[in-house]
Structure 1
Amino acid sequence: MTTLASSPPVRSGGVAGAEVPASGSLSTNAVTRNFSDLHAPTWFALLTANIGARTLLFHPIQLAISRKRVTRESTPPTVIGLVKASYRGGRTSAYGATCTKGQYDFGKGGVRGCYRGVGAALLCNLLGETSYLFTLEAMKEYVEAASSKRAEENIFAASSYSAAVGAMCGDLVALLLVSPLVIVCNRQMTAGYSMASTNSYMSMPQTLRTVWGLYQSKAVAAGRVWPGEYVRRGLNGVYQGLGAGLLRIPSSGCWWGLYTKSKETLYIVAEPALSVWEQECRAAAVANDASAAALSGNKSAPLWRQNWLLSPTDNPLLNAAASVIASVCTTFLFNPIAVVQTRQQALPPRLWEEPTAATAKGGRATSPTVKRHAWKSSLPFRHVYHVANDLARKEGVRGFFKGAPANISVAVLDGIIFTLLFEFTKLGSDIQFLEKLHTE
């Protein structure tokens, strides 16, 4: 664990530089700050507030994106149109002049209509993101400690590999922990809409019971009602979309790897200029403010007076720029899997199983067609294949990118807000930062 009694920061040339004021008085920075540098209770408290605020802010847009993903229309309503429809109870010009009550009347509207499923989303995000970020930080530090040490050329050297590994481990833990809640949330948000029009909106416990029983009728019909089979069928229901979720795990590694490497590069490039500007700003403040004259010696300015936009070590603009790069690239690459996963979780299984059953019934037991397609039932991700195949045949490649522009926009906005709050959460939980704050 780092302490306040640290050596001066080392510049890109490997020579100890002049003391960087304010944020530079800490031996940690936004790129290299690890979990062992943090006060854990403070970090978890700030993280909970961060997650709750972002969930409430973006839920109406996430509601619209989920509904776009379960439509058959080649040009579904816009996100704004869907949000308006949610507020008006589904009766809006976004669905045509003839739309009154019917398949698009899926709620009473108002603020409640825009926040349908917010309870499940809030619980899911609190459990999922907390476990995800804790696992990420712990595994990232473990991988860095286990890797061979080498002399670094700058104070911003970070391992994008360890960040990617930690992110994928965290995603796996969160996926196994909150997948049932994700399914409940998706079914609540899309209930009564388009391809999910047969689903009824229910409370969280009722929705969970419904999902648990999705595959139970098969066990009864086949005469298999022993407890082990009952539990297995129930888990098949509450973990629908797990295959697509596993395929999305690399997206977390991709995002954090890109974010870490982009952040490291941006800080290395911007640090010399930011250090000069910050010292000039501090010198001007000392000259113009009599109350700052007493601090003109070796002490830095109070934390509450710092200009973080000029900080060479904890700069929110550089963090936001790195998150934009990571969000755009990752969201575009993995949008097809997101569409498949949403449909798996929100739509009835019969949509994918009936065509397969019809094909099997249409041919004889020894039919070459049945034999030719028999291998599909043995695929490890066969449910993902069925959904993706249905999507490709009926909607083409364009169907895999439904909601992509809106998803990228939300990912960029959420990424910016997430990184701003997440990095300040880590900074605000930094043990050195807290000690410095309490001694002023």
Structure 2
Amino acid sequence: MSIVEESGLAGRAPPRDVQWGDMDKRRFFVEGTGLFSAIMTALYPISVIKTRQMAAVAQPGGKRNIGIASITLDLARSEGIRGFYKGYPITFLAQIPSRVIYLSTLEFVKAHVTAPLDAALDPAAAASAASFLAGGTASLAAQTVIVPMDVISQRQMIQGPASKGAQAGGAGGAMPGGHAVYRSAAHAARVIVREEGVRGLYRGFVTSLATYVPSSAVWWGLYGFYNKLAWRGIAWRQEQIGLPPVADERTPAAIAASSADGSTLGQRDWVTVAVQMGSGVAAGLTSGLVMTPVDCVKTRLQVLRPLPGERPPTFVSVARDLWTQEGVRGFYRGVFARMASASLFGTAMVSAYEYLKDRSAS
């Protein structure tokens, strides 16, 4: 038996994508709520660290105490494990409806654009384009729920220990402009609405669209591209060692055959999982790097609380101040935390997503 046969690559083709119409939606969302919530809980501290890095103001005299290590250690010393879960309750509650909206839209759009794109483009380009369009549209649909959650949770994330009466200082340097101490997510929402109106909950909405919509589109587009590229590499390797070519499992004949013998639909082995996870890591690292500058400005815009008599900050004013204070480097504040977040969250979520799709195949 050859090494390739032992590795499980012999005769392998990409598994058929489970379509929206093939799925048991109730099972998908019920099981998905628990699985996605567990992933979010495990990785939530990365979001807190990233947010504090992006929101912190460089201290006078050039002192920069806003690295990942210093923020993590300072937060652990001052607040313990609770500090890494600031804003968690509102995020947990809001992610359930936002996830339903996001995934429903994602699958609906993919189901309607895949066939036309397959007919017009190369398979890798078609997969990337379909995922790009679906990811961007899904993010756009979910922002009405996500933005208020972001505003509330991020303001909680950056404030210091309430017991010390801190405003928004603490780990990793000073935090921007006058923050109240929010006792809970509900209290934060009441304060924001009282002082800034309902518009305060949607502070940075346009900027969020400019951040998350392209970020989601880029992530899914790259994921589809890297995934297809990996399977092409496997096919090329099979050809190099003289194995017969394997049919594209999206063709009607292949789909019929796989449905009849159960060899493809719902099939998940280590090769499939490795390709999906590798594609997720690569997509997360790339999109995290590209989108950090916009995310940095968005985060600072959403956590700033205008003082009485001051005009509310805008995307342009926040970007200008950041440029004046720190130059280009300031726009990449938190870049490694964001790349880690996009990579780990994205990989874990897409692995769970693909797993749930297979389990929900009817």
* Alignment TM class, shorter chain as reference: 0.7 to 0.9
Aligned to 2:351: 420
Residue 411 of structure 1 deviates from its aligned partner by: 1.8
Verify the 8 A CA contact 1:243 1:384 in the aligned structure 2. no
Aligned to 2:112: 142
1:261 and 2:231 correspond: no
Opposite residue 185 of structure 1, the aligned amino acid is S
Q: 1:246, 1:168 → 2: CA distance?
A: 9
Q: 1:86, 1:54 → 2: CA distance?
A: 22
Q: 2:238, 2:338 → 1: CA distance?
A: 33
- Deviation per CA, 1:413-440: give whole Å up to 9, x if none: 2222122212111111122xxxxxxxxx
Residue 402 of structure 1 deviates from its aligned partner by: 0.2
SS at match of 1:72: coil
Q: 1:350 to 1:334 in 2, by over 3 A?
A: farther
Q: 2:120, 2:307 → 1: CA distance?
A: 58
Aligned to 1:236: 199
Residue 274 of structure 1 deviates from its aligned partner by: 7.3
Opposite residue 195 of structure 1, the aligned amino acid is M
Q: 1:200 to 1:274 in 2, by over 3 A?
A: farther
Q: 2:42, 2:91 → 1: CA distance?
A: 12
Q: 1:207 to 1:148 in 2, by over 3 A?
A: closer
Equivalent residue for 2:73, pick from 84, 90, 95? 84
Q: 1:158 to 1:45 in 2, by over 3 A?
A: farther
Q: 1:255 to 1:268 in 2, by over 3 A?
A: same
Q: 1:418, 1:142 → 2: CA distance?
A: 23
Q: 2:354, 2:317 → 1: CA distance?
A: 41
Q: 1:238 to 1:34 in 2, by over 3 A?
A: same
Give TM-score scaled by structure 2 length.
Answer: 0.77
Aligned to 1:190: 158
Q: 1:307 to 1:179 in 2, by over 3 A?
A: closer
1:115 and 2:115 correspond: no
The alignment's C-alpha RMSD in Å is 3.3
Residue 112 of structure 1 deviates from its aligned partner by: 2.0
Q: 1:151, 1:345 → 2: CA distance?
A: 41
Verify the 8 A CA contact 1:184 1:204 in the aligned structure 2. yes
1:321 and 2:321 correspond: no
Aligned to 1:44: 29
Q: 1:275, 1:308 → 2: CA distance?
A: 21
Q: 1:399 to 1:157 in 2, by over 3 A?
A: closer
Residue 182 of structure 1 deviates from its aligned partner by: 1.4
Equivalent residue for 1:174, pick from 128, 142, 145? 142
Give TM-score scaled by structure 1 length.
Answer: 0.64
- Deviation per CA, 1:235-254: give whole Å up to 9, x if none: 32110011211211112111
Verify the 8 A CA contact 1:88 1:110 in the aligned structure 2. yes
Verify the 8 A CA contact 1:324 1:412 in the aligned structure 2. yes
Verify the 8 A CA contact 1:241 1:384 in the aligned structure 2. yes
Verify the 8 A CA contact 1:158 1:264 in the aligned structure 2. no
Aligned to 2:336: 405
1:69 and 2:54 correspond: yes
Q: Would you tell me which structure has more helix in proportion to its own residues? A: 2
Residue 275 of structure 1 deviates from its aligned partner by: 11
Verify the 8 A CA contact 1:51 1:125 in the aligned structure 2. no
SS at match of 2:327: helix
Residue 276 of structure 1 deviates from its aligned partner by: 12
- Deviation per CA, 1:323-355: give whole Å up to 9, x if none: 12211221111101111111111121349x84x
- Deviation per CA, 1:74-130: give whole Å up to 9, x if none: 6333323323322322xxxxxxxxxxxxxxxxxxx2322222211112123222222
SS at match of 1:402: coil
Q: 1:115, 1:329 → 2: CA distance?
A: 27
Opposite residue 210 of structure 1, the aligned amino acid is V
1:29 and 2:24 correspond: no
Which structure 1 segments of 5+ residues have no match? 1-18, 90-108, 216-233, 280-297, 358-381, 432-440
Which structure 2 segments of 5+ residues have no match? 1-9, 160-167, 244-259
Verify the 8 A CA contact 1:65 1:403 in the aligned structure 2. yes
Aligned to 1:346: 303
Larger relative contact order (CA 8 Å, sep ≥ 6): 2
Q: 1:411, 1:210 → 2: CA distance?
A: 31
Residue 56 of structure 1 deviates from its aligned partner by: 0.8
- Deviation per CA, 1:371-400: give whole Å up to 9, x if none: xxxxxxxxxxx8111111111112211110
- Deviation per CA, 1:122-177: give whole Å up to 9, x if none: 123222222112111111212235x37639997x8853222222211111111112
Residue 189 of structure 1 deviates from its aligned partner by: 0.7
Q: 1:153, 1:240 → 2: CA distance?
A: 41
Verify the 8 A CA contact 1:167 1:252 in the aligned structure 2. yes
Verify the 8 A CA contact 2:117 2:130 in the aligned structure 1. no
